[in-house]
Homo-oligomer: A and B are copies of this chain.
Amino acid sequence: MYPNVQAYDRGVMFNPDGRLFQVEYAKEAVRNGATSIGLIAKDSVVFVAHKNIAEPLAIPATIQKVFRIDSHIGATYSGMVADGLHIIDVARNRAQNHRLIYDDIKSVEALAKDISAYMMQATQYGGLRPYAVSFLVGGIDSASRLFEIEPGASFLGYKADAIGVGKKTATEMLMKEYKDNMTTEDAVGLGVKKIKKISEGRLSEESLDVGYVESGSDYVLLSPSEINQYL
């Protein structure tokens, strides 16, 4: 229909349908990333992320897919590693700055909006490429919150959500099995089970990151042995 479709996909420019191709191609990079899942449980928000490492001599523990942003906020990403780490740094700075300036925690939604605004810049200015990462950012302020932010910088709240290569499969499974008011343990179990399914069973405690934020206590990252109990 558009004989030289490639004319619109370099630089951050619209095509005649109003689409930004560079953003869509960045989403494709996310679609190739290892799967991450986030779930809102009764008094907690849970993150389970796959670390898809084929090399036997690699040390999976050196890849981090689930991060503490602040005591009450965690995050996980799928997509380009370096982009992911860069945005995680930005997010931590924003959370810290809020504490310094207001002497109070930043709300989870405000942080998700900050990440969205930061990633939006890269879709607006020529000479930059969009960030090739999707994020699940979640935590507890007045209630439990979970947000997805994608390369086009839009964000949306979820009860349970998946990003990366297994997004479609995981989301469908979550739709059937997710329940409100699960215990943290059940939520972790559900997340691990789904990633196990997506990875067709080839999963050790080393190729998973599991973290959660629970009401009234600081962010928790499970140890491999703790993860092992869910496999």
Contacts and interface: CB of A to CB of B under 8 A. Distances in A.
Contacts of A122: 124
A58 B157 contact: yes
Given A53-B156, A59-B157, A175-B56, A16 B4 contact: no
A117 B129 contact: no
A81 interface: yes
Given A7-B6, A83-B120, A156 B58 contact: yes
A12 interface: yes
B57 A174 contact: yes
Contacts of A63: 156-157
A62 B157 contact: yes
A68 to B, nearest CB: 15
Contacts of A158: 55, 57-59, 62
A176 to B, nearest CB: 10
Given A7-B6, A152-B82, A22 B28 contact: no
Indicate the size class of the contact surface on chain A.
Answer: 35 or more
A211 to B, nearest CB: 18
Number of copies: 7
Nearest to A112: B62
A221 interface: no
A145 B61 CA distance: 11
A109 interface: yes
Interface stretch (A29-37, A94-102, A181-189, A196-204): A29-37
Interface string A10-33: 111111111111100111111110
A132 interface: yes
Contact of A57 (B31, B58, B171): B171
Contacts of A160: 57
A158 to B, nearest CB: 5
Contact of A17 (B8, B25, B56): B25
Interface string A188-215: 0000000000000000000000000000
Report the 4 A-B pairs with minimum CB-CB distance, sorted nearest first: A62-B157, A18-B29, A18-B28, A81-B154
5 contacts: A18-B28, A53-B156, A57-B160, A81-B153, A126-B127
